[in-house]
Structure 1
Amino acid sequence: MDLDPTDKRLLAALQRDGQMTADALGRDLNLSPSQAGRRRQRLEERGVIRGYRAVLDPVAAGLGVEAFVQIAMATHTEENARDFLRLCRTRAEIVGAWTLTGEADYLLRVFCGDLGDLNRLVQQTLLPHPAVSRVHSQIVMERVKSDAPLPL
């Protein structure tokens, strides 16, 4: 989908505040509220805007440990991949999962209450999984820049 400059400004505004009303968007974009609302609706219908959500502070929500976990697969079969992806989708601690090029096959972003919870996830869930050969975890010490808006 081609985005014109106004679409990009609208998307940038919504990334800053997903609760902006059509009135506020219109003022921000120098459009009428109805024009701003129609543009937003068109972007939603075309899948450019996939949804809206609250951004939570993980520590305040009781999730004091954030980690990135690299997974190397034991064998690269369709069944192993399907089973491992099912595990990723069903474990609440795993908030992001990506397939990678290079040494690791998957990168997982996880949030846990404490180091014990992370250890249990790795030792009792990930390592014993038949699809997994190797697990390498890195604990986040400080979020320098986290989940920034897309560069439009």
Structure 2
Amino acid sequence: MPESHFGSTGTIDIDDIDKQLLRLLQTQARMSITELAERVNLSATPCARRIKRLEDANIITGYHTKTDAQKLGYPLAVFIAVSMDRHTAERFEQFERSVQSFEEVVSCSIVTGRTEDYLIKVRVRDMAHYEEFLLHRLNRIEGVAQVHTSFELREVFSRSVV
């Protein structure tokens, strides 16, 4: 197993076995240590140590259940680009706290290369739900100056880094 030391970028060094473990856990986080170890040709104890090392280094930040938004009644995915009226830390912190509290918001990023400041992805039941979200919650956050909406026709794929 590689030494648990940090590389020049401040991240731990990971090898091909670590990457295999990450890929397996990303597709099936409930896989047992025994099965993971078999898949990467290790015994259970070294496999468990590798996973613990990845968790301790915050490369593995949690284990999540992936759900089907359509089957849960949220078939409409919306990307909303948001412009703020002022670029102050306080204004941005307030916006971020507000959107994080909205259950419809599934991601929020500060972006560059556009006139907008944020790009958020929202899941809603239908257009009426989107209108309520936009008019009665998002646009009421202090500092929101402008929004531009794009509707997702179809997600081609979504994956994690490794």
Give the match for residue 141 of structure 2. Answer: 129
Give the match for residue 159 of structure 2. Answer: 148
Which deviates more from structure 2 when the two are superposed, residues 120-129 or residues 95-104? 120-129
The answer to whether the 8 A contact 2:99-2:138 is kept is no
In structure 2, relative to structure 1, the CA distance for the partners of 1:55 and 1:136 (3 Å cut) is same
Match runs of 1:47-126 below 5 Å: 47-101=58-112, 102-126=114-138
Q: Look up the SS of the partner of 2:100 in the other structure.
A: helix
TM-score (normalizing by structure 2): 0.88
Question: Residue 138 of structure 2 aligns to which amino acid in structure 1?
Answer: L
TM-score (normalizing by structure 1): 0.93
Report sequence identity in percent: 29
Q: For the residues of structure 2 that align with 1:137 and 1:100, how far apart are their CA atoms? A: 15
The alignment yields a C-alpha RMSD, in angstroms, of 1.1
Q: Shift of the alpha carbon at 1:78?
A: 2.2
Regions of 4+ moved over 3 Å: none
* Unpaired runs of at least 5, structure 2: 1-11
Q: 1:44 aligns with which of 17, 34, 55?
A: 55
Question: Residue 26 of structure 2 aligns to which amino acid in structure 1?
Answer: Q
* Unpaired runs of at least 5, structure 1: none
Q: For the residues of structure 1 that align with 2:91 and 2:73, how far apart are their CA atoms? A: 32
Q: Shift of the alpha carbon at 1:128?
A: 2.8
